[in-house]
């Protein structure tokens, strides 16, 4: 059963997605969260990085909308099919998240490319920080690694619960950008969910005005969470993107 170590709502700060707005998160630091409890949190718009669980709590703004893909009705576009085909020669390994020099180097290369291309702020990632954010011990935690022969070219972190797969983070070798590894990663998670009889793949927050997050709506059809339901409230999901 989950144990809450800390609970707070952030003070408003500049939004990372919409520069002219402010943002705030509702945050819970928790341990011993079971996969079934995580299922319930995902249904209500929560995300997880290590032991930190969060969802938007911005006053007067609802641009961050939780999006999930119903596996049984997913219909890939032509470009998504191309992305899948372009990565079929890559070896894929699913296991527990790892922390090693190759993953840290790949993250650094990917993030530096984003700093140049999208003016992101530098973000040094130590092994301790990577372990906390991406490899914190959790029964639902998984990693999908893409290899070109023995070369690590992509890493996707995700959670797998009884009813859902939740994509957490993905980074890749910029030299492979033309092969649309990010799209292939989502496609792989949907395929995995279908093979395991899992109902939904959660893609996090769709922000229509943010280029980095807009792509999520291209996975169709999908469902969007209405509001920010409390633990005792039944979540309402609306069909979209048909």
pTM of the model: 0.95
* Mean pLDDT computed over 113-123: 82
Say what the pLDDT of residue 133 is.
Answer: 94
Question: Is the pLDDT score of 22 beyond 90?
Answer: yes
Superfamily of domain 3-240: Gcn5-related N-acetyltransferase (GNAT) (3.40.630.30)
- Mean pLDDT in the chain? 95
Q: The tokens of 18 are what? A: 């919409």
Kindly list the domain boundaries of the chain, sorted by start residue: 3-240
Range with lowest mean pLDDT among 60-69, 77-86, 96-105, 113-122: 113-122
Strands (E), 32-160: 47-49, 52-56, 65-70, 91-95, 141-148, 151-160
Question: Is the pLDDT score of 119 beyond 80?
Answer: no
Report whether 193 contacts 71 (CB < 8 A). Answer: yes
Of the pLDDT bands very low, low, confident and very high (cuts 50, 70, 90), residue 177 is: very high
Say what the pLDDT of residue 16 is.
Answer: 86
* Mean pLDDT computed over 123-141: 94
């Amino acid at each position: 059963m989950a144990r809450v170590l800390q609970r707070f709502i952030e003070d408003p700060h500049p939004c990372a997605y919409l520069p002219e707005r402010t943002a705030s998160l509702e945050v819970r630091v928790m341990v011993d969260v079971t996969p079934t409890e995580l299922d319930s949190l995902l249904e209500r718009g929560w995300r997880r990085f290590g032991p930190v669980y969060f969802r938007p709590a911005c006053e007067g703004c609802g641009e961050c909308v939780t999006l999930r893909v119903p596996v049984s009705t997913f219909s890939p576009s032509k470009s998504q099919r191309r992305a899948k085909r372009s990565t079929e020669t890559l070896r894929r390994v699913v296991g527990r998240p790892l922390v090693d020099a190759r993953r840290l180097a790949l993250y650094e290369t990917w993030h530096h490319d984003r700093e140049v291309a999208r003016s992101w702020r530098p973000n040094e990632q130590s092994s301790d920080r990577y372990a906390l954010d991406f490899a914190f011990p959790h029964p639902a935690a998984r990693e999908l690694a893409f290899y070109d022969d023995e070369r690590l070219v992509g890493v996707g972190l995700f959670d797998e619960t009884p009813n859902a797969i939740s994509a957490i983070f993905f980074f890749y070798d910029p030299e492979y950008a033309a092969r649309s590894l990010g799209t292939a990663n989502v496609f792989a998670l949907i395929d995995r969910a279908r093979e395991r009889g899992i109902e939904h793949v959660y893609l996090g927050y769709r922000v229509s005005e943010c280029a980095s997050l807009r792509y999520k709506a291209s996975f169709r059809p999908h469902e969007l969470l209405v509001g920010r339901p409390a633990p005792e409230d039944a979540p309402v999901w609306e069909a979209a993107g048909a």
